[in-house]
Amino acid sequence: MIKAILIFNNHGKPRLIRFYQYFAEDMQQQIIRETFHLVSKRDDNVCNFLEGGSLIGGSDYKLIYRHYATLYFVFCVDSSESELGILDLIQVNLLQFVFVETLDKCFENVCELDLIFHMDKVHYILQEVVMGGMVLETNMNEIVAQVELQNRMEKSEGGLSAAPARAVSAVKNMNLPEIPRNINIGDINIKVPSLSPF
Amino acid sequence: MALKIVKGSIDRMFDKNLQDLVRGIRNHKEDEAKYISTCIDEIKQELKQDNIAVKANAVCKLTYLQMLGYDVSWAAFNIVEVMSSSKFTYKRIGYLAASQCFHEGTDVIMLTTNQIRKDLSSPHQYDTGVALTGLSCFVTPDLARDLANDIMTLMSHTKPYIRKKAVLIMYKVFLKYPESLRPAFPRLKEKLEDPDPGVQSAAVNVICELARRNPKNYLSLAPLFFKLMTSSTNNWVLIKIIKLFGALTPLEPRLGKKMIEPLTNLIHSTSAMSLLYECVNTVIAVLISLSSGMPNHSASIQLCVQKLRILIEDSDQNLKYLGLLAMSKILKTHPKSVQSHKDLILQCLDDKDESIRLRALDLLYGMVSKKNLMEIVKKLMLHVDKAEGTTYRDELLTKIIDICSQSNYQYITNFEWYISILVELTRLEGTRHGHLIASQMLDVAIRVKAIRGFAVAQMATLLDNAHLLTGNTQRNGICEVLYAAAWICGEFSEHLEDPMQTLEAMLRPKVATLPGHIQAVYVQNAAKLFATVLRKHEGETDSHAAQETSQLLIDRLPLFVQSANLEVQERASCILQLVKYIQKLQQKKVEVAEEVTALFAGELNPVAPKAQKKVPVPEGLDLDAWINKPPSESESEDEKPKAVFAKEEPKHSRSRHTEVDEKELARRREARKQEQANNPFYIKASPSSQKVYDAPGVEHIPVVQIDLSVPLKVPGMPMSDQYLKLEEERRQKEKAERKKKEKKKKREKRGKERKADSGPESEEDITPAHQVDIVTEEMPENALPSDDDDKDPNDPHKALDIDLDKPLADSEKLPVRTHRPEVLKSPAEDRVNENIPQETKKRSGKETKEKKKGKEKDRKRSKEEKKKKKHKEVEEELLESQPEEAVQSEETKEAATPPTSTSAEEETAPSSAAAVDTSSAAAPESEPDEPKDAEPEDTKSSKHKKKKQKKEKEEKEKKKKKRHHHHHHHHHHHHSDAGGEDSVQNGTVEEEEPLPPMSNYSLLAENSYIKMMKEDADQVYDIQGNHQDESKVVVSVIFENKSDSFLKSMEFNVLDSLNSKLQRPEGAGAHDSLTVPFQLPPGISNEARFVFSVQSIVMPQKLKGTLTFIVKSDESSTHEKLDFKLHFTCTSYLITTPCYSDAYAKLLESGDLKGSSLRLEGINMPFHHLLARICFHHHFSVVERIDSCASMYSRSIQGHHVCLLVKTSDQTVSIDAKCDEPSLLGNVLDEIKQTFSKC
């Protein structure tokens, strides 16, 4: 079982949180802070597993994380999940790209800003990968297909912010501060040697 | 209306959407909280509008705010509104928000039931999908109960997208509504073979989660999973399955045997590291489960270790880490195979990644030997010097001490070395583990008498250079070591070369800056040193030196008399006065040395930490009884009995060897008081309040740890030494016991033995142990309880999983239902027991009250189940309980008696596993009601539900009563169940009333080198069908090496008879012996199989045989032989064959069979045990059972039918038997008789 999926940036700001067990909001924030504290002090060249913090789960649980550019992807899982399998789930593999790759496809080069502004969409993608703490689908094509079908459905309904609103938001966008658009996760190629076909 | 819509959409143009909100928050970094609070106000306004789009937008923003930590539960109702929108876009937003912030305490969840049901049955698959996804996050027991049936229906949806979600969510439903597991399980199982890989994977996922918590109940699925494992190409699924097998094998070692081959194949073939790693892990689990007595699969271990080495050598840190992790699992059971990779592991100590270094350290612990200990520690010491950061260095320090002290210093050959290591460690800066080093120093100095001289010298240096240590002001730091140093120097001062110098060092003014408890030890031991100095100078004509010493003390002690620490002050002033008095005597030229030394006479010996607990309470001593009438004041109440108990403690154990009666006790108490009076450590203790005596109740460790200067402290110290003394004695006794055991080959309970052991024996042992006073064996034993203590704190975390166990307990029925009918189906039968089908009927009836849709299906299912049930109802607990037996005996028995299957099911894994499963699935069967009764009480709350519950309960109770009639022998545990909540939780029967362990292995022959165990009647199979002339019998023999030498070149030979012949390889002569295909290192056992061909099976056979082997020890090798007799019983020619009652009836009617009968008197066991025994030992199966009467059937390898009718009443069992071969029948009955005469 996956107990929680946390995405936060290098400063510990949450970009997506998904708990599969109920925690009150303040507890959730505390977990994020502690997890960030644990994860952020680790070098990039050390292993991606952490024995579970005291907050989530306990000894049976592990934190499995990956660090991409400005973002940390942390999965808190118990011993029924394969460590390497989850890493693959987070990261990439030759045959089956999953989460990050899916984001990549759906947003055409995902960066932190996409996550910031489209948290809801990221959730919808995540829902096609993990459901209720269990891995639902590992086949990227299937995931992308389902997400796209749903988006199409949304479009046909006019979406949440229909055309006029979009125009307004374009106007709103004009006087915006710098948006660092070039933190591109997709280009960062973290090598996972010999984790081949999975 | 139209205007309103237009207005609405114009409003919306200026509402913030999610992106605007995010942008706004980013623009208000300084006053974020303020900005968000205005946003929340806006959102509240938006939620008040009746435009659903506005609401949805607001809810979407709330979801974002929730992530930032804002409580949005106040909007729960609006979320429900958005969820119920007909537009997918809004619905999705609503469900997302709900999944993020709804939980069991959210009251509006009650309102969602119908909406969700509507969405689940929506024609649009994404509506359904969204509802399922949302529900998976906030499903409550109520929702689970109400929607279980709808979701079940969805499991057979036409779209795989829905199917897989429905399958997956079932796990959550099971957790919240355990009753649903049984009805849903057949369909879930079906989905394991769904054509869509996603659905399949989801089903595997769910079952793996279920099985992980309660693997026993899923053993029946092993064959199915085995098939999936060999056919699936989806690595994700494979990993899950392999992990599942890892959980199953400990329960069923035979499964493990089957697993090894396909797993090793996978290991060889896969290129996916994740899969490889899981395979290796499972192989390790298998090997661990097999290691108890079965052949050592050295090839598999080698393979695992090799592959792990590859992982560890990989540049990827993750693989390295996991490799080390898995390696440590192997280490526990096969340390030798890991030891050969020492180089690699030492290399990992240099890794830059701390988690990897820590893992490597863990491994080192198990890799040391006498030979390499010093080398490894040297390496670690280098790391200590290099290490940055105190945490890692402290970790290293504790590991060094752990490694050295493990198994009672087993690997230390040179204690001088160890002392120097400890002294070196004191030079570490800023370590927290001063007390650890100190306790090691004390331990070694006390227990290793030979080392005392050296230790004292080292400690004296340490004291002399104390300023180096005390520079460190950190509390609890390294200065703790001085505590040990001072004590050792004082206690063993006779070894000091220059006590005067040490005395001087101990009384330096700087000492006053040390923590109080250390100062106290300094002062006390200064007095000891003083005594030694006096003694040294006694008899010298010039008493100048002695007087100088007195003067030194008189000069320096006042500093301590002023100490703020009570303990220090008291001791110092006492000793000061004493010394002043002595000085007076010295001036009068009185010889005082002897008197002063007498103050500190007596030796302190080590005692085991748990020794006190193990002291047997003497007969007639009631520890709870009042000794005096209870005083009115409650305060003193608690102390008195304790104090008495504690006082007696040390004395007791010391003279445990004699019979303790009350007089003796009193006498000893006196003696001890006197002894205490002579011992300065006790002088303090006795006058102070009795509370001090509570100290002995505490183990000595806390005494060292506590940093406060409590008066408890110093008396505590010698107390702990008292313990050490106890320990020593106990160890010696244990040692004696072990020797005894070796001689006698008998195991007795420790408690008894200790009492029985007499004093002289232990004294004998003391002398040899004198030099290095370390006794092995004891430490691990003492360590065990503390290990448990370590585990305990973890349990509360795992307590979260208790809920998960419950549903599983309930599930125990399901596999039975679905599995059984596949095994046996005879359409003709329709009778016997009704109760279980009734139960399902009732349950499904209940469900239909709420779910009309599911009604028909449920009914169908219950009908089906009813049918299936009927065939097997009677048989199951008997028939199936027999393999269960094997498992049990496996667990309970020691090595060398691995479980055996009763019938010929060795050919393929699935088949054997199938036989196994039914067993474990069936066992819990008889107790299905309990968990259900308990569960709803915990989870449900609303009133009407409680009513319903009551009804349910009543119904169940009725059913229970029925069951009582049918299975009167279950009476016992029904009652106990009702009482004990624990058993309710577990809900399994075999824990309640285990059948006595039965083993198929019997001793064949034994001498001092080797033990041969023969499987009573192993796989008997008929190679040539029903061909009457010749059949083959396989005999498994376990060879166990009992000696310390290597056994090799084992040859097995049997004198053939006319009827039975050992099958020899082609070309071998009729008298040639067979070589046993393995060698046996000391303590190892292995199994070999021999095939015999048998002509006639109607008579039992005895074959004489010989085993020859070479015993190879270091010096010599000798040829030895062992004679044995192989006994083929007629039973061993019977194969457990199921038979249907209709066929059985026909068989009996045919009249071809001849009858015979047998009467057994005084059989004092439950009927089902009796049947189980017959099934297990004599390979029968139960055809039908009605109350205390059962018909049984078996078939010989040559096709003879054997039918039994077993009846029991009042300890008398009568067996009427029929068979087409009278002599075979006669022999079988004789054997049955023998089986029961044994018990």
DSSP of B172-203, one letter per residue? Answer: HHHHH-GGGHHHHHHHHHHHTT-SSHHHHHHH
Query: Are the CB atoms for B428 and B478 separated by under 8 Å?
Result: yes
- Contact between residue B337 and residue B307 where contact means Cβ atoms under 8 Å apart: no
pLDDT tens per residue, range B817-826: 333 333 333 3
CB–CB contact A46 B169 (8 Å): no
Question: Does the pLDDT of residue B291 top 70, yes or no?
Answer: no
pLDDT at B663: 66
| Vertex B839: Cα angle to B836 and B841 (nearest 5) | 115
Q: Which of B47-56, B957-966, B1023-1032 has the highest mean pLDDT?
A: B47-56
Considering only residues 121 to 150 of chain B, which have any Cβ-Cβ distance to chain A shorter than 8 Å? 126, 129, 132-133, 136-137
* Phi, psi dihedral angles at B1217 (to 5 degrees): -130, 150
Average pLDDT over residues B903-921: 40
Residues of B within 8 A of A142 (CB-CB) are: 198
The mean pLDDT value for B777-781 works out to 35
- How many angstroms from the chain centroid is the CA of residue B434? 32
Contact B171 A132 (CB under 8 A): yes
Q: What is the pLDDT of residues B1070-1086, one digit of tens each?
A: 777 888 777 787 777 77
| Contact with chain B for residue A102, Cβ under 8 A | no
Q: Is the pLDDT of residue B1050 over 60?
A: yes
Can you tell me which residue has the tokens 């309470």? B617
pLDDT at B560 over 70: yes
Q: Which residue of A has its CA nearest to B233?
A: A198
Q: Is the pLDDT of residue B159 over 60?
A: yes
Q: Is A113 on the interface with B (CB under 8 A)?
A: no
Flag whether pLDDT at B748 surpasses 60.
no
pLDDT for the residue numbered B369: 78
Residue appearing with tokens 């009796």: B1170
Distance, in Å, from the CA atom of B417 to the CA atom of B194, rounded to the nearest integer, reads: 66
pLDDT at A161: 54
Place of tokens 């998976």: B136
Contact B990, B892 (CB under 8 A): no
CB contact under 8 A, B797 and A84: no
Q: What is the pLDDT of residue B906?
A: 39
Pick B340 or B694 by higher pLDDT.
B340
Check B93 against A123: CB less than 8 A apart: no
B278 touches chain A (CB under 8 A): yes
Residue B476, by phi and psi: left (phi above 0), alpha (psi -120 to 50) or beta?
Answer: left
Task: Scan residues 67-126 of B and list those with Cβ closer than 8 Å to A.
Answer: 67-71, 87-90, 92-93, 96, 100, 103-104, 126
- pLDDT at position B1239 is 62
Q: How confident is the model at residue B853 (pLDDT cuts 50, 70, 90)?
A: very low
Nearest one of B6, B37, B5, B9 to B21, comparing CA atoms: B37
Of B25-34, B468-477, B823-832, B993-1002, give the lowest mean pLDDT range: B823-832
**CA-based nearest distance B1161→chain A, Å:** 53
Of B90, B198, B355, the CB nearest to A47: B355
pLDDT of residue A54: 61
- Mean pLDDT on A45-49: 83
Are residues B352 and B317 in contact, defined by beta-carbon separation less than 8 angstroms? no
On whether any CB of chain B is under 8 Å from the CB of A34, the answer is no
Q: Are B681 and B718 in contact (CB under 8 A)?
A: yes
Taking 60 as the threshold, does the pLDDT of residue B863 lie above it?
no
Q: Is the pLDDT of residue B705 over 80?
A: no
The per-residue pLDDT for range B1016-1043, each reduced to its tens digit, is: 544 444 333 334 456 777 777 788 888 8
User: Which of B54-68, B733-747, B1169-1183 has the highest average model confidence (pLDDT)?
Assistant: B54-68
- Quick one: pLDDT band at residue B94, thresholds 50, 70, 90? very high
| Distance (Å) from the alpha carbon of A164 to chain B's nearest alpha carbon | 7
Q: CB-based burial of residue B893 (10 Å sphere; 0-12 exposed, 13-18 middle, 19+ buried)?
A: middle
A134 and B205 within 8 Å at the Cβ level: the answer is yes
- Lowest-pLDDT choice from B127-131, B333-337, B723-727, B1132-1136: B723-727
Nearest by CB: A119 against B20, B67, B197? B67
Q: Angle B881-892/B909-922 helices, nearest 10 degrees?
A: 90
Which structure tokens are listed for A42?
Answer: 């680790």
pLDDT category at B473 given cuts 50, 70, 90 is low
What residues 1-30 of chain A have any CB closer than 8 A to a CB of chain B? 1, 14, 16-18, 20, 22, 24-26, 28-29
Which pLDDT value is given to residue B162? 92
Q: Judge: A45–B317 Cβ closer than 8 Å, yes or no.
A: yes
Phi, psi of B995 (to 5 degrees): -70, 145
Please answer yes or no on whether A150 and B126 come within 8 Å at the CB atom: yes
pLDDT at B166 over 90: yes
Q: Check CB contact under 8 Å for B354 and A46.
A: yes
Which of B202, B212, B275 is facing A136, going by the closest CB pair?
Answer: B202
Closest residue in B to A145 (Cα) is B161
Average pLDDT of B738-752?
48
Domains in chain A (CATH in brackets) are 2-158 (3.30.450.60)
**Tokens coding B555:** 């000069």
Nearest by CB to residue B198, choosing from A87, A142, A196, is: A142
Say whether pLDDT at B770 is over 60: no
Across the interface, whether the CB atoms of A84 and B322 are under 8 A apart is answered yes
Contact assignment for B318 to A87 by CB distance below 8 Å: yes
| A16, A119, A169 ranked by CB distance to B17: nearest | A169
**Which amino acid does the sequence have at B572?**
A
Q: How many residues comprise chain B?
A: 1239
Give one DSSP letter per residue of A139-191, joined into a string. -HHHHHHHHHHHHHHHHHTT-SS-HHHHHHHHHHHHT-----TT--TTT----
From CA B464, how far away is CA B468, in angstroms rounded? 9
Residue B924: predicted pLDDT: 41
Q: Min CA distance, A77 vs chain B (Å)?
A: 13
Q: Which residues contact B858 (CB under 8 A, 6 or more apart)?
A: B149, B183, B844, B847, B848
Beta strand ranges found along B17-170 (DSSP E) = none
Q: What is the pLDDT of residues B1139-1167, one digit of tens each?
A: 777 788 888 777 777 888 888 787 777 78
Which residues of chain A does B798 touch, with a Cβ-Cβ cutoff of 8 Å? 58, 60
The yes-or-no verdict on residue B712 having pLDDT over 50 is no
pLDDT at B627: 79
pLDDT by residue (tens digit) across A154-183?
888 876 654 444 445 555 555 444 444 444
pLDDT value, residue B598: 84
Q: Tell me the DSSP string of B1113-1141.
A: -SS-EEEEEEEEEEEE-SGGGEE-----H
| For residue B931, pLDDT beyond 80 | no
Closest Cα in chain A, distance from residue B318 (Å): 5
Q: Does the beta carbon of A184 lie under 8 angstroms from any beta carbon of chain B?
A: no
Interchain CB contact of B208 with A (< 8 Å):
yes
A interface test, pick of B96, B352, B797, B803 with most A CB neighbours within 10 Å = B797
Cβ–Cβ of B272/A195 closer than 8 Å?
Answer: yes
| Contact between chains at B322 and A177 (C-beta distance less than 8 A) | no
pLDDT at B31: 87
Considering only CB atoms, which chain B residues are within 8 Å of A47? 317-318, 320-321, 353, 355-356
Q: What is the mean pLDDT of residues B876-901?
A: 41
Give yes or no for A33 touching B (CB within 8 A).
Answer: no
φ, ψ of residue B477 in degrees (nearest 5) = -80, -150
Partner-chain contact B317 A142, CB within 8 Å = no
Please give the Cα distance from A172 to B1187 (Å, whole number): 84
Residues B721-740, mean pLDDT to the nearest whole number: 51
For residue range B577-618, what is the model confidence (pLDDT) as tens digits?
Answer: 998 898 888 888 777 788 888 888 877 777 777 777 777 777
Residue-averaged pLDDT of chain B: 70
- Which residues of chain B make contact with A131, given a CB cutoff of 8 A? 132-133, 136, 165, 168-169
| Phi and psi angles of residue B618, each rounded to the nearest 5 degrees, phi first | -65, 150
Q: Is A161 an 8 Å CB contact of chain B? A: yes
Interface contact B165-A136, CB threshold 8 A: yes
Contact (CB<8Å) A136/B164: yes
* CB atoms B275 and A198 under 8 Å: yes
Q: Is A131 part of the contact surface with chain B (CB cutoff 8 Å)?
A: yes
Task: DSSP for B492-555, please give it.
Answer: TGGG-S-HHHHHHHHT-GGGGGS-HHHHHHHHHHHHHHHHHHHHHHTT-S-THHHHHHHHHHHH
Contacts of B912 (CB under 8 A, 6+ apart): B254, B255, B258, B901, B905, B906
Nearest to B13 among A87, A164, A173 (CB): A164
Going by pLDDT thresholds of 50, 70 and 90, the confidence category of residue B97 is: very high
Q: Which of B388-402, B657-671, B835-849 has the lowest mean pLDDT?
A: B835-849
Over the stretch B312-369, which tens digit does the pLDDT of each residue have? 888 888 888 888 888 888 887 777 777 778 888 888 887 877 778 888 888 887 778 7
**Predicted-assembly ipTM surpassing the 0.90 threshold:** no
Q: Residue B991 pLDDT more than 80?
A: no
Chains A–B, number of C-beta pairs less than 8 Å apart: 212
Mutate to test the interface with B, among A38, A64, A114, A136 (most CBs of B within 10 A): A136
Q: Among residues B665, B633, B663, B640, which one has the least CA distance to residue B650?
A: B665
